[in-house]
Amino acid sequence: MRKSDWVGRVLFVCATFSALVVFLITFYLLREGLGVLNWGFLTGMIWNPEADLYGTLPTLVSTLIVVAGAVVIAVAIGIPCAIFLAEFAPFWLRNIVKSTVEAITGIPSVVIGLFGVMVIVPFIRDNIGGRNGESILAGWIVLALMIIPNIITISEDAIRAVPTAYREASLALGATKWDTIRKAVLPSAISGIMASLVLGVGRAIGETMAVLMVIGNPNIPFVPTSVVDQVRTFTSTIAIEFGYVQWGSTHQQALYAMGVVLFIIVMALNFVATFVIRRRLIHEE
Amino acid sequence: MNAVAKERYVKALLYAAAGLSVIILPVIVVWVATMGTGALSWEFLTEAPYRLVQGGIYPQIIGSIYLVGLSTAIGAPLGLASAIYLSEYAPNNAITKTVRFFTETLAGVPSIVIGLFGLQFFVYELHLKTSLLAGALSLSIMMLPWTIHASEEALRVVPKEYREASYALGASKWQTIVRVVVPAALPGIITGIILGMGKAIGETAVVWLTAGSGSEAFVPASLQAPTGSLSMYIYLVATQAKAGISHGYGAALVLISMFLTMSVTALLLRNHFLKKLNGR
Protein backbone atom coordinates (compact mmCIF):
# COMPACT_ATOMS: atom_id res chain seq x y z
CA MET A 1 0.00 0.00 0.00
CA ARG A 2 1.45 3.33 -0.95
CA LYS A 3 1.87 6.01 1.67
CA SER A 4 -0.75 8.24 0.15
CA ASP A 5 -3.38 5.50 0.38
CA TRP A 6 -2.52 4.98 3.99
CA VAL A 7 -2.63 8.69 4.74
CA GLY A 8 -5.97 9.03 2.99
CA ARG A 9 -7.47 6.33 5.13
CA VAL A 10 -6.19 7.77 8.38
CA LEU A 11 -7.62 11.14 7.47
CA PHE A 12 -10.91 9.53 6.56
CA VAL A 13 -11.10 7.99 10.02
CA CYS A 14 -10.48 11.41 11.52
CA ALA A 15 -13.20 12.93 9.40
CA THR A 16 -15.68 10.34 10.53
CA PHE A 17 -15.15 11.29 14.14
CA SER A 18 -17.84 13.93 13.97
CA ALA A 19 -20.31 11.42 12.67
CA LEU A 20 -19.19 8.93 15.28
CA VAL A 21 -19.69 11.47 18.04
CA VAL A 22 -23.19 12.35 16.87
CA PHE A 23 -24.06 8.67 16.82
CA LEU A 24 -22.63 8.14 20.26
CA ILE A 25 -24.51 11.11 21.64
CA THR A 26 -27.76 9.85 20.16
CA PHE A 27 -27.08 6.36 21.43
CA TYR A 28 -26.26 7.27 25.00
CA LEU A 29 -28.98 9.85 25.31
CA LEU A 30 -31.58 7.43 24.04
CA ARG A 31 -30.26 4.56 26.10
CA GLU A 32 -30.59 6.55 29.29
CA GLY A 33 -33.69 8.51 28.54
CA LEU A 34 -35.93 6.41 26.34
CA GLY A 35 -37.36 4.47 29.24
CA VAL A 36 -39.02 7.54 30.68
CA LEU A 37 -39.98 9.09 27.37
CA ASN A 38 -43.67 8.50 26.85
CA TRP A 39 -46.79 10.50 26.17
CA GLY A 40 -47.29 11.20 29.87
CA PHE A 41 -43.80 12.65 30.05
CA LEU A 42 -44.60 15.22 27.44
CA THR A 43 -48.09 16.14 28.57
CA GLY A 44 -47.96 15.68 32.31
CA MET A 45 -48.52 18.83 34.30
CA ILE A 46 -46.64 17.95 37.43
CA TRP A 47 -42.89 17.69 37.74
CA ASN A 48 -42.20 16.29 41.17
CA PRO A 49 -39.21 13.96 41.26
CA GLU A 50 -39.80 13.09 44.89
CA ALA A 51 -43.22 11.75 44.06
CA ASP A 52 -41.84 10.10 40.93
CA LEU A 53 -43.90 12.35 38.72
CA TYR A 54 -42.23 13.61 35.57
CA GLY A 55 -44.60 15.76 33.63
CA THR A 56 -42.80 18.28 31.47
CA LEU A 57 -45.65 20.26 29.96
CA PRO A 58 -45.21 23.39 32.12
CA THR A 59 -41.50 23.37 31.41
CA LEU A 60 -42.12 22.80 27.71
CA VAL A 61 -44.58 25.67 27.54
CA SER A 62 -42.23 27.92 29.50
CA THR A 63 -39.34 27.07 27.19
CA LEU A 64 -41.43 27.91 24.16
CA ILE A 65 -42.59 31.20 25.66
CA VAL A 66 -39.09 32.25 26.61
CA VAL A 67 -37.71 31.32 23.20
CA ALA A 68 -40.56 32.91 21.27
CA GLY A 69 -40.27 36.22 23.10
CA ALA A 70 -36.52 36.32 22.67
CA VAL A 71 -36.83 35.64 18.95
CA VAL A 72 -39.43 38.38 18.55
CA ILE A 73 -37.14 40.90 20.21
CA ALA A 74 -34.10 39.71 18.28
CA VAL A 75 -35.97 39.89 14.98
CA ALA A 76 -37.41 43.33 15.76
CA ILE A 77 -33.92 44.69 16.28
CA GLY A 78 -31.91 42.34 14.09
CA ILE A 79 -33.73 42.45 10.78
CA PRO A 80 -33.85 46.24 10.57
CA CYS A 81 -30.17 46.22 11.46
CA ALA A 82 -29.50 43.68 8.70
CA ILE A 83 -31.42 45.85 6.22
CA PHE A 84 -29.41 48.83 7.37
CA LEU A 85 -26.13 46.97 6.88
CA ALA A 86 -27.03 45.64 3.47
CA GLU A 87 -28.71 48.66 1.96
CA PHE A 88 -27.79 51.86 3.72
CA ALA A 89 -24.51 51.62 5.54
CA PRO A 90 -21.35 52.99 3.97
CA PHE A 91 -18.54 50.49 3.70
CA TRP A 92 -16.58 51.58 6.77
CA LEU A 93 -19.64 51.74 9.00
CA ARG A 94 -20.76 48.33 7.85
CA ASN A 95 -17.45 46.85 8.89
CA ILE A 96 -17.55 48.41 12.31
CA VAL A 97 -21.12 47.35 12.99
CA LYS A 98 -20.61 43.84 11.65
CA SER A 99 -17.48 43.26 13.70
CA THR A 100 -19.06 44.61 16.84
CA VAL A 101 -22.15 42.49 16.41
CA GLU A 102 -20.24 39.33 15.54
CA ALA A 103 -18.04 39.83 18.57
CA ILE A 104 -21.09 39.42 20.77
CA THR A 105 -20.94 35.71 20.06
CA GLY A 106 -17.53 35.71 21.68
CA ILE A 107 -18.88 36.81 25.03
CA PRO A 108 -19.21 33.72 27.23
CA SER A 109 -22.80 33.00 28.12
CA VAL A 110 -21.99 33.11 31.83
CA VAL A 111 -20.85 36.69 31.46
CA ILE A 112 -24.09 37.61 29.73
CA GLY A 113 -25.83 35.74 32.52
CA LEU A 114 -23.85 37.74 35.06
CA PHE A 115 -24.96 40.93 33.35
CA GLY A 116 -28.51 39.62 33.44
CA VAL A 117 -28.40 38.75 37.12
CA MET A 118 -26.77 41.95 38.30
CA VAL A 119 -28.31 44.51 35.94
CA ILE A 120 -31.43 43.26 34.18
CA VAL A 121 -32.98 41.32 37.05
CA PRO A 122 -32.75 44.13 39.63
CA PHE A 123 -34.06 46.55 37.01
CA ILE A 124 -37.11 44.40 36.46
CA ARG A 125 -37.62 43.89 40.16
CA ASP A 126 -37.44 47.59 40.93
CA ASN A 127 -39.35 48.93 37.95
CA ILE A 128 -41.73 46.32 36.68
CA GLY A 129 -42.56 43.84 39.36
CA GLY A 130 -42.22 40.19 40.13
CA ARG A 131 -40.80 38.55 43.20
CA ASN A 132 -37.14 39.21 42.71
CA GLY A 133 -36.89 40.18 39.09
CA GLU A 134 -35.94 36.74 37.87
CA SER A 135 -38.53 36.24 35.23
CA ILE A 136 -39.55 35.41 31.70
CA LEU A 137 -38.86 39.00 30.75
CA ALA A 138 -35.29 38.76 31.94
CA GLY A 139 -34.94 35.55 29.96
CA TRP A 140 -36.28 37.28 26.88
CA ILE A 141 -33.77 40.09 27.07
CA VAL A 142 -30.79 37.90 27.81
CA LEU A 143 -31.60 35.37 25.08
CA ALA A 144 -32.33 38.11 22.58
CA LEU A 145 -28.87 39.55 23.25
CA MET A 146 -27.37 36.20 22.45
CA ILE A 147 -29.17 35.45 19.20
CA ILE A 148 -29.19 38.93 17.66
CA PRO A 149 -25.77 38.33 16.04
CA ASN A 150 -27.05 35.14 14.40
CA ILE A 151 -30.13 36.86 13.01
CA ILE A 152 -28.17 39.83 11.76
CA THR A 153 -25.32 37.98 10.04
CA ILE A 154 -27.45 35.44 8.20
CA SER A 155 -30.20 37.90 7.26
CA GLU A 156 -27.69 40.41 6.01
CA ASP A 157 -26.09 37.75 3.83
CA ALA A 158 -29.50 36.85 2.46
CA ILE A 159 -30.35 40.46 1.67
CA ARG A 160 -27.03 41.12 0.02
CA ALA A 161 -27.46 38.01 -2.08
CA VAL A 162 -30.44 39.49 -3.84
CA PRO A 163 -29.21 40.42 -7.34
CA THR A 164 -28.65 44.12 -7.94
CA ALA A 165 -30.78 43.78 -11.04
CA TYR A 166 -33.88 43.46 -8.85
CA ARG A 167 -33.13 46.74 -7.15
CA GLU A 168 -32.25 48.51 -10.35
CA ALA A 169 -35.40 47.31 -12.07
CA SER A 170 -37.53 48.52 -9.21
CA LEU A 171 -35.84 51.91 -9.06
CA ALA A 172 -36.13 52.20 -12.82
CA LEU A 173 -39.87 51.80 -12.46
CA GLY A 174 -39.90 54.81 -10.14
CA ALA A 175 -40.06 53.19 -6.74
CA THR A 176 -38.34 54.81 -3.78
CA LYS A 177 -35.50 53.03 -2.06
CA TRP A 178 -37.64 51.86 0.82
CA ASP A 179 -40.36 50.66 -1.57
CA THR A 180 -37.71 48.73 -3.44
CA ILE A 181 -36.50 47.12 -0.28
CA ARG A 182 -39.95 46.32 0.93
CA LYS A 183 -41.36 44.96 -2.31
CA ALA A 184 -38.43 43.68 -4.33
CA VAL A 185 -35.49 42.90 -2.10
CA LEU A 186 -37.02 41.53 1.08
CA PRO A 187 -39.40 39.08 -0.56
CA SER A 188 -36.45 37.60 -2.45
CA ALA A 189 -34.39 37.37 0.69
CA ILE A 190 -37.18 35.89 2.73
CA SER A 191 -35.84 32.33 2.57
CA GLY A 192 -32.51 33.33 4.02
CA ILE A 193 -34.17 35.48 6.65
CA MET A 194 -36.40 32.59 7.64
CA ALA A 195 -33.33 30.37 7.86
CA SER A 196 -31.72 32.85 10.24
CA LEU A 197 -34.87 32.84 12.32
CA VAL A 198 -35.03 29.08 12.55
CA LEU A 199 -31.36 28.86 13.44
CA GLY A 200 -31.88 31.55 16.04
CA VAL A 201 -34.71 29.57 17.57
CA GLY A 202 -32.50 26.50 17.62
CA ARG A 203 -29.75 28.41 19.37
CA ALA A 204 -32.16 29.91 21.86
CA ILE A 205 -33.68 26.57 22.78
CA GLY A 206 -30.27 25.10 23.43
CA GLU A 207 -28.93 28.00 25.47
CA THR A 208 -28.35 27.00 29.05
CA MET A 209 -26.31 29.23 31.30
CA ALA A 210 -27.47 32.74 30.59
CA VAL A 211 -31.12 31.72 30.69
CA LEU A 212 -30.68 29.59 33.79
CA MET A 213 -29.25 32.49 35.73
CA VAL A 214 -32.11 34.88 35.16
CA ILE A 215 -35.37 33.03 34.88
CA GLY A 216 -35.93 31.99 38.45
CA ASN A 217 -36.21 28.21 38.35
CA PRO A 218 -38.96 27.71 40.90
CA ASN A 219 -39.07 24.41 42.74
CA ILE A 220 -42.37 23.53 41.19
CA PRO A 221 -42.59 24.49 37.56
CA PHE A 222 -45.94 25.88 36.52
CA VAL A 223 -47.41 27.31 33.36
CA PRO A 224 -46.67 31.03 33.52
CA THR A 225 -49.36 33.68 33.33
CA SER A 226 -47.35 36.87 33.38
CA VAL A 227 -44.03 38.11 32.07
CA VAL A 228 -42.64 38.48 35.55
CA ASP A 229 -43.35 34.89 36.49
CA GLN A 230 -40.45 32.69 37.40
CA VAL A 231 -40.12 29.73 35.10
CA ARG A 232 -37.85 26.92 34.07
CA THR A 233 -36.67 25.74 30.73
CA PHE A 234 -35.59 22.30 29.62
CA THR A 235 -31.96 23.33 29.66
CA SER A 236 -32.11 24.93 33.08
CA THR A 237 -33.93 21.94 34.58
CA ILE A 238 -31.30 19.53 33.33
CA ALA A 239 -28.43 21.68 34.51
CA ILE A 240 -29.79 22.33 37.97
CA GLU A 241 -31.27 18.99 38.86
CA PHE A 242 -28.30 16.98 37.69
CA GLY A 243 -26.56 18.26 40.77
CA TYR A 244 -28.76 16.23 43.04
CA VAL A 245 -29.96 13.20 41.15
CA GLN A 246 -29.20 9.77 42.33
CA TRP A 247 -27.16 7.96 39.76
CA GLY A 248 -29.27 5.47 37.82
CA SER A 249 -32.55 6.66 39.27
CA THR A 250 -35.69 7.38 37.26
CA HIS A 251 -35.10 11.04 38.02
CA GLN A 252 -31.82 10.89 36.15
CA GLN A 253 -33.47 9.08 33.28
CA ALA A 254 -36.10 11.79 33.14
CA LEU A 255 -33.39 14.40 32.78
CA TYR A 256 -31.82 12.42 29.98
CA ALA A 257 -35.23 12.19 28.37
CA MET A 258 -35.40 15.98 28.48
CA GLY A 259 -32.04 15.97 26.76
CA VAL A 260 -33.45 13.70 24.06
CA VAL A 261 -36.40 16.04 23.47
CA LEU A 262 -34.04 19.02 23.27
CA PHE A 263 -31.75 17.18 20.91
CA ILE A 264 -34.57 16.16 18.59
CA ILE A 265 -36.12 19.63 18.52
CA VAL A 266 -32.84 21.36 17.78
CA MET A 267 -31.86 18.79 15.14
CA ALA A 268 -35.24 19.17 13.45
CA LEU A 269 -34.88 22.95 13.41
CA ASN A 270 -31.39 22.77 11.97
CA PHE A 271 -32.59 20.34 9.36
CA VAL A 272 -35.42 22.63 8.37
CA ALA A 273 -33.14 25.64 8.19
CA THR A 274 -30.37 23.99 6.25
CA PHE A 275 -32.21 21.74 3.88
CA VAL A 276 -35.80 22.80 3.48
CA ILE A 277 -35.46 26.56 3.43
CA ARG A 278 -32.19 26.78 1.59
CA ARG A 279 -33.22 24.15 -0.92
CA ARG A 280 -36.35 26.13 -1.65
CA LEU A 281 -34.17 29.16 -2.20
CA ILE A 282 -32.07 27.31 -4.74
CA HIS A 283 -35.11 25.88 -6.49
CA GLU A 284 -36.69 29.26 -6.77
CA GLU A 285 -33.85 30.61 -8.83
CA MET B 1 -47.02 61.03 4.95
CA ASN B 2 -45.40 61.50 1.58
CA ALA B 3 -42.80 59.20 0.19
CA VAL B 4 -39.79 61.29 1.13
CA ALA B 5 -40.85 61.72 4.72
CA LYS B 6 -41.67 58.05 4.99
CA GLU B 7 -38.25 57.21 3.62
CA ARG B 8 -36.53 59.38 6.18
CA TYR B 9 -38.63 57.96 8.99
CA VAL B 10 -37.77 54.40 7.99
CA LYS B 11 -34.11 55.26 7.63
CA ALA B 12 -34.11 56.67 11.16
CA LEU B 13 -35.66 53.46 12.49
CA LEU B 14 -33.06 51.37 10.72
CA TYR B 15 -30.24 53.47 12.11
CA ALA B 16 -31.78 53.10 15.56
CA ALA B 17 -31.91 49.33 15.22
CA ALA B 18 -28.30 49.24 14.11
CA GLY B 19 -27.36 51.54 16.95
CA LEU B 20 -29.02 49.28 19.49
CA SER B 21 -27.26 46.25 18.07
CA VAL B 22 -23.90 47.95 18.13
CA ILE B 23 -23.99 49.11 21.72
CA ILE B 24 -24.64 45.66 23.17
CA LEU B 25 -21.01 44.60 23.05
CA PRO B 26 -19.40 47.79 24.38
CA VAL B 27 -21.97 48.09 27.15
CA ILE B 28 -21.35 44.60 28.45
CA VAL B 29 -17.57 44.74 28.06
CA VAL B 30 -17.29 48.16 29.68
CA TRP B 31 -19.62 47.07 32.45
CA VAL B 32 -17.51 43.99 33.21
CA ALA B 33 -14.34 46.02 33.03
CA THR B 34 -15.59 48.73 35.40
CA MET B 35 -17.09 46.38 37.92
CA GLY B 36 -14.24 43.93 37.74
CA THR B 37 -11.19 46.15 38.01
CA GLY B 38 -11.91 46.74 41.66
CA ALA B 39 -11.41 43.12 42.47
CA LEU B 40 -8.13 42.72 40.67
CA SER B 41 -5.08 42.46 42.81
CA TRP B 42 -2.02 40.29 43.03
CA GLU B 43 -3.65 38.21 45.75
CA PHE B 44 -6.77 37.79 43.69
CA LEU B 45 -4.84 36.34 40.80
CA THR B 46 -2.54 34.11 42.75
CA GLU B 47 -4.44 32.76 45.73
CA ALA B 48 -6.97 30.00 46.06
CA PRO B 49 -10.58 30.71 46.93
CA TYR B 50 -11.63 30.34 50.50
CA ARG B 51 -15.36 30.02 51.07
CA LEU B 52 -15.75 30.82 47.39
CA VAL B 53 -15.53 34.59 47.63
CA GLN B 54 -12.56 35.16 49.86
CA GLY B 55 -9.05 34.80 48.62
CA GLY B 56 -8.43 34.58 44.94
CA ILE B 57 -9.15 32.64 41.80
CA TYR B 58 -5.80 31.20 40.92
CA PRO B 59 -6.96 27.55 40.61
CA GLN B 60 -9.86 28.67 38.44
CA ILE B 61 -7.55 30.57 36.10
CA ILE B 62 -5.17 27.65 35.82
CA GLY B 63 -8.10 25.26 35.45
CA SER B 64 -9.52 27.23 32.55
CA ILE B 65 -6.12 27.40 30.89
CA TYR B 66 -5.61 23.66 31.29
CA LEU B 67 -9.09 22.87 30.01
CA VAL B 68 -8.79 25.07 26.94
CA GLY B 69 -5.23 23.99 26.27
CA LEU B 70 -5.93 20.29 26.50
CA SER B 71 -9.17 20.42 24.54
CA THR B 72 -7.44 22.40 21.79
CA ALA B 73 -4.56 19.94 21.75
CA ILE B 74 -7.11 17.19 21.17
CA GLY B 75 -9.60 18.99 18.99
CA ALA B 76 -7.38 21.08 16.71
CA PRO B 77 -5.34 18.25 15.13
CA LEU B 78 -8.46 16.14 14.79
CA GLY B 79 -10.34 19.00 13.21
CA LEU B 80 -7.49 19.84 10.89
CA ALA B 81 -7.14 16.21 9.81
CA SER B 82 -10.86 16.03 9.11
CA ALA B 83 -10.70 19.27 7.17
CA ILE B 84 -7.75 18.05 5.12
CA TYR B 85 -9.63 14.91 4.29
CA LEU B 86 -12.80 16.77 3.33
CA SER B 87 -10.95 19.30 1.25
CA GLU B 88 -8.22 17.24 -0.40
CA TYR B 89 -9.15 13.61 -0.42
CA ALA B 90 -12.86 13.22 -0.22
CA PRO B 91 -14.57 11.99 -3.37
CA ASN B 92 -17.86 13.63 -4.15
CA ASN B 93 -20.05 10.77 -3.03
CA ALA B 94 -22.73 9.96 -0.52
CA ILE B 95 -20.27 9.06 2.21
CA THR B 96 -18.68 12.48 2.05
CA LYS B 97 -22.05 14.16 2.09
CA THR B 98 -23.00 12.17 5.16
CA VAL B 99 -19.79 13.08 6.93
CA ARG B 100 -20.36 16.74 6.18
CA PHE B 101 -23.95 16.51 7.32
CA PHE B 102 -22.93 15.08 10.65
CA THR B 103 -20.27 17.70 11.17
CA GLU B 104 -22.87 20.40 10.71
CA THR B 105 -25.27 18.53 12.95
CA LEU B 106 -22.68 18.43 15.68
CA ALA B 107 -22.39 22.21 15.51
CA GLY B 108 -26.04 22.50 16.42
CA VAL B 109 -26.08 20.19 19.42
CA PRO B 110 -26.89 22.22 22.56
CA SER B 111 -24.03 22.47 25.00
CA ILE B 112 -25.99 20.89 27.84
CA VAL B 113 -26.62 17.83 25.67
CA ILE B 114 -22.89 17.56 25.02
CA GLY B 115 -22.44 17.89 28.76
CA LEU B 116 -24.87 15.03 29.34
CA PHE B 117 -23.04 12.94 26.78
CA GLY B 118 -19.68 13.76 28.30
CA LEU B 119 -21.00 12.81 31.70
CA GLN B 120 -22.40 9.50 30.53
CA PHE B 121 -19.59 8.53 28.20
CA PHE B 122 -16.36 10.02 29.47
CA VAL B 123 -17.05 10.31 33.15
CA TYR B 124 -19.02 7.14 33.61
CA GLU B 125 -18.46 4.63 30.81
CA LEU B 126 -14.78 5.35 30.37
CA HIS B 127 -14.38 5.72 34.11
CA LEU B 128 -12.59 9.00 33.76
CA LYS B 129 -14.49 10.47 36.72
CA THR B 130 -15.25 14.15 36.96
CA SER B 131 -11.90 15.35 35.81
CA LEU B 132 -9.77 17.61 33.70
CA LEU B 133 -9.52 14.89 31.07
CA ALA B 134 -13.26 14.30 30.85
CA GLY B 135 -13.86 18.01 30.64
CA ALA B 136 -11.23 18.54 27.96
CA LEU B 137 -12.55 15.66 25.85
CA SER B 138 -16.09 17.00 26.07
CA LEU B 139 -14.92 20.51 25.20
CA SER B 140 -13.01 19.20 22.20
CA ILE B 141 -16.29 17.81 20.88
CA MET B 142 -17.74 21.29 21.13
CA MET B 143 -14.94 22.93 19.21
CA LEU B 144 -14.65 20.26 16.52
CA PRO B 145 -17.26 21.57 14.08
CA TRP B 146 -15.89 25.12 14.17
CA THR B 147 -12.31 24.04 13.64
CA ILE B 148 -13.31 21.74 10.79
CA HIS B 149 -15.46 24.36 9.12
CA ALA B 150 -12.90 27.16 9.29
CA SER B 151 -9.99 24.92 8.31
CA GLU B 152 -11.84 23.45 5.39
CA GLU B 153 -12.73 26.91 4.11
CA ALA B 154 -9.12 27.97 4.47
CA LEU B 155 -7.83 24.91 2.64
CA ARG B 156 -10.37 25.25 -0.09
CA VAL B 157 -9.39 28.83 -0.85
CA VAL B 158 -5.78 27.90 -1.56
CA PRO B 159 -5.45 28.31 -5.34
CA LYS B 160 -5.15 25.05 -7.18
CA GLU B 161 -2.15 26.45 -8.97
CA TYR B 162 -0.18 25.98 -5.77
CA ARG B 163 -0.96 22.30 -5.73
CA GLU B 164 -0.35 21.87 -9.43
CA ALA B 165 3.02 23.60 -9.23
CA SER B 166 4.00 21.32 -6.39
CA TYR B 167 2.98 18.19 -8.26
CA ALA B 168 4.82 19.45 -11.34
CA LEU B 169 7.97 19.62 -9.25
CA GLY B 170 7.51 15.96 -8.38
CA ALA B 171 6.06 16.17 -4.90
CA SER B 172 3.62 13.55 -3.66
CA LYS B 173 0.12 14.42 -2.56
CA TRP B 174 0.94 14.30 1.10
CA GLN B 175 4.10 16.35 0.65
CA THR B 176 2.09 18.90 -1.23
CA ILE B 177 -0.47 19.12 1.51
CA VAL B 178 2.00 19.40 4.32
CA ARG B 179 4.46 21.79 2.71
CA VAL B 180 2.33 23.86 0.39
CA VAL B 181 -1.40 23.76 1.03
CA VAL B 182 -1.55 23.79 4.80
CA PRO B 183 1.02 26.58 5.20
CA ALA B 184 -0.93 28.60 2.65
CA ALA B 185 -4.14 28.01 4.59
CA LEU B 186 -2.57 28.66 7.97
CA PRO B 187 -4.19 32.06 8.65
CA GLY B 188 -7.67 30.64 8.22
CA ILE B 189 -6.83 27.52 10.16
CA ILE B 190 -5.53 29.58 13.07
CA THR B 191 -8.69 31.66 13.06
CA GLY B 192 -10.74 28.49 13.26
CA ILE B 193 -8.73 27.18 16.17
CA ILE B 194 -9.02 30.43 18.05
CA LEU B 195 -12.76 30.47 17.45
CA GLY B 196 -12.92 27.03 18.99
CA MET B 197 -10.77 28.08 21.92
CA GLY B 198 -13.01 31.03 22.54
CA LYS B 199 -16.03 28.78 22.71
CA ALA B 200 -14.24 26.41 25.04
CA ILE B 201 -13.06 28.98 27.52
CA GLY B 202 -16.49 30.43 28.03
CA GLU B 203 -18.32 27.13 28.08
CA THR B 204 -19.98 26.38 31.38
CA ALA B 205 -22.69 23.74 30.92
CA VAL B 206 -20.27 21.14 29.60
CA VAL B 207 -17.66 21.81 32.24
CA TRP B 208 -20.27 21.78 34.99
CA LEU B 209 -21.21 18.19 34.27
CA THR B 210 -17.80 16.81 33.47
CA ALA B 211 -14.91 18.71 34.94
CA GLY B 212 -15.59 19.79 38.45
CA SER B 213 -17.71 21.89 40.74
CA GLY B 214 -15.91 25.16 40.06
CA SER B 215 -15.14 26.00 43.64
CA GLU B 216 -11.99 23.96 43.81
CA ALA B 217 -9.34 25.45 45.99
CA PHE B 218 -6.54 23.62 44.28
CA VAL B 219 -5.01 23.30 40.86
CA PRO B 220 -5.72 19.87 39.33
CA ALA B 221 -2.94 17.56 40.34
CA SER B 222 -3.37 15.20 37.41
CA LEU B 223 -5.53 14.60 34.39
CA GLN B 224 -7.88 12.61 36.54
CA ALA B 225 -8.41 15.27 39.13
CA PRO B 226 -11.41 17.56 39.06
CA THR B 227 -10.67 21.09 38.02
CA GLY B 228 -12.17 24.47 38.63
CA SER B 229 -12.78 26.92 35.85
CA LEU B 230 -13.45 30.62 35.56
CA SER B 231 -16.82 30.10 33.92
CA MET B 232 -18.11 27.77 36.65
CA TYR B 233 -16.77 30.12 39.29
CA ILE B 234 -18.63 33.08 37.81
CA TYR B 235 -21.81 31.06 37.73
CA LEU B 236 -21.46 29.97 41.35
CA VAL B 237 -20.76 33.46 42.64
CA ALA B 238 -23.58 34.98 40.64
CA THR B 239 -26.14 32.54 41.91
CA GLN B 240 -25.02 31.55 45.39
CA ALA B 241 -22.73 34.18 46.78
CA LYS B 242 -23.95 37.51 45.55
CA ALA B 243 -22.48 39.21 48.59
CA GLY B 244 -19.03 38.59 47.21
CA ILE B 245 -20.02 39.47 43.66
CA SER B 246 -16.96 41.63 43.19
CA HIS B 247 -14.96 38.43 42.87
CA GLY B 248 -17.36 37.30 40.21
CA TYR B 249 -16.82 40.51 38.29
CA GLY B 250 -13.09 40.08 38.66
CA ALA B 251 -13.29 36.54 37.33
CA ALA B 252 -15.42 37.72 34.41
CA LEU B 253 -12.87 40.41 33.64
CA VAL B 254 -10.06 37.86 33.71
CA LEU B 255 -12.08 35.55 31.47
CA ILE B 256 -12.80 38.24 28.90
CA SER B 257 -9.20 39.42 29.03
CA MET B 258 -7.95 35.91 28.38
CA PHE B 259 -10.28 35.61 25.44
CA LEU B 260 -9.18 38.98 24.08
CA THR B 261 -5.53 38.01 24.47
CA MET B 262 -6.15 34.80 22.56
CA SER B 263 -7.97 36.66 19.79
CA VAL B 264 -5.27 39.30 19.49
CA THR B 265 -2.54 36.66 19.43
CA ALA B 266 -4.48 34.88 16.74
CA LEU B 267 -4.77 38.05 14.71
CA LEU B 268 -1.06 38.70 15.03
CA LEU B 269 -0.21 35.13 14.06
CA ARG B 270 -2.60 35.41 11.15
CA ASN B 271 -0.97 38.57 9.88
CA HIS B 272 2.48 37.07 10.34
CA PHE B 273 1.57 34.10 8.19
CA LEU B 274 -0.26 36.25 5.67
CA LYS B 275 2.87 38.34 5.26
CA LYS B 276 4.99 35.26 4.83
CA LEU B 277 2.62 34.00 2.16
CA ASN B 278 2.76 37.19 0.19
CA GLY B 279 6.52 37.17 0.22
CA ARG B 280 7.41 39.34 3.17
What is the per-residue pLDDT across A104-157, written as a single tens digit (0 to 9) for each? 888 999 999 999 999 999 999 888 877 888 889 999 999 999 999 999 999 999
Which of A30, A107, A207, A245 to mutate to test binding with chain B, by most B CBs within 10 Å of its CB? A107
Contact B117 A28 (CB under 8 A): yes
Q: What is the pLDDT of residue A156?
A: 92
- Give yes or no for residue A201 having a pLDDT over 60: yes
Answer whether residue A3 shows pLDDT above 80: no
Tell me how far apart the alpha carbons of residues A178 and A185 are, in angstroms, rounded to a whole number: 10
Give A77's contacts in chain B (Cβ within 8 Å): 17, 20-21
Dihedral pair phi/psi, residue A174, rounded to 5°: 100, 5
Q: Is the pLDDT of residue A261 over 70?
A: yes
B24 and A207 within 8 Å at the Cβ level: the answer is no
Compare CB distances from B117 to A29, A84, A88 and report the shortest one's residue.
A29
d(CA A262, CA A259): 5
Return all residues near A132 (Cβ < 8 A) that are at least 6 apart: A121, A125, A216
CA B88 from centroid of its chain's CA atoms: 25
pLDDT at B5 over 80: yes
More confident: A77 or A176 = A77
Confidence grade of residue B6 (pLDDT, cut at 50, 70, 90)? confident
Shortest alpha-carbon distance between residue A47 and chain B (Å): 20
> Residue B86: CA atoms inside 13 Å, Cβ hemisphere, count?
30
CB pairs under 8 A between A and B: 235
The contacts of residue B275 (CB under 8 Å, 6+ apart) are none
Chain B residues whose CB is inside 8 A of the A108 CB are 201-204, 231, 255-256, 259
Q: Does the pLDDT value for residue A285 go beyond 80?
A: no
Note whether ipTM > 0.90 here: no
pTM for the complete prediction?
0.88
Helix (H, G, I), strand (E, B), or coil: what is residue A90? coil
Which distant-in-sequence residues (6+ apart) come within 8 Å of A157 by Cβ?
A192
Residue B69: other Cβ atoms inside 10 A: 14
Q: What is the DSSP letter of A163?
A: -
Neighbours of B93 (CB within 10 A): 8
Average pLDDT over residues B5-28: 90
